[in-house]
Copies of this chain bind each other. A is one copy, B any other.
Amino acid sequence: MVEELKEKVFKANLDLVKHGLVIFTWGNVSAIDRGKGLIVIKPSGVSYETMKVSDMVVLDLDGNIMEGNLKPSSDTPTHLVLYKAFPEIGGIVHTHSTYATSWAQAGCDIPNIGTTHADYFSDAIPCTRPMTKEEVEGDYEKETGNVIVERFKELNPVHIPGVLVGNHGPFAWGKNAAEAVYNAVVMEQVAKMAYISYGINPQLTMNKYLITKHFERKHGPNAYYGQK
């Protein structure tokens, strides 16, 4: 059905380990074939060391399993909500990477205080509000997606390709699985540097026009970074 996409999602999941973003089974990557309306995602709780391409699970947008013998990631309903709400995105990553998760546990947005951040995110990396008891005890993983979407009501998910779910951890996304992994690495690195920077100078500031400059150097019609 979507063999090539399964290969890419498989590889993207292993890249999380390579980049030091996950230990054990604490992360998952998915991607979507918008034409076919099919999503490929990591199976739940399967070790990265023994996982095979054929273990990837294929679902439709309603969460029905179309291919695969394993249960999909328990976070699948969150991924489905995001694919429906953000039609521009093609891949999603969830991890418990150390520094991004620490900001999520702190319940704080990661302020945009450097060009490393501004090269990929046009503003702060937002943190969701605490989920209510009803949301947590109801359809929890779906509601997790909903609080992310709520947080992006006035934000552009293409310009801000990631979020912190409060007390939980980061989700990142991109036009495909590889770009979502890339953005997850960026989030972890800027989370670490922001933590250190505020330790040095709690009163630090950054001018908005420098953020805009760097974001537009890499994105949009006037981008001039790289070989394109």
Contact = CB atoms under 8 A, between A and B. Distances in A.
Interface magnitude class on chain A: 35 or more
Interface in A2-58: 19, 23-26, 43-46
A107 B203 CA distance: 10
Interface stretch (A85-93, A148-156, A220-228): A220-228
A131 interface: yes
Copies of this chain, how many?
A: 4
A56 to B, nearest CB: 14
A106 interface: yes
Contacts of A74: 217, 224-226
A201 interface: yes
A197 to B, nearest CB: 4
Contacts of A46: 227
A101 interface: yes
Interface in A117-143: 130-131, 133, 136-137, 140
A128 to B, nearest CB: 12
Contact of A204 (B105, B198, B224): B105
A195 B196 contact: yes
Given A70-B227, A217-B74, A227-B71, A197 B133 contact: no
B137 A167 contact: no
Interface in A139-193: 140, 167-169, 182, 185, 189, 192-193
29 contacts: A23-B189, A24-B185, A26-B116, A44-B225, A44-B226, A45-B225, A74-B224, A74-B225, A98-B192, A98-B196, A99-B196, A101-B193, A103-B197, A105-B193, A105-B206, A107-B205, A108-B200, A113-B167, A115-B168, A115-B169, A131-B207, A131-B210, A133-B209, A136-B207, A136-B210, A136-B213, A140-B213, A167-B207, A198-B200
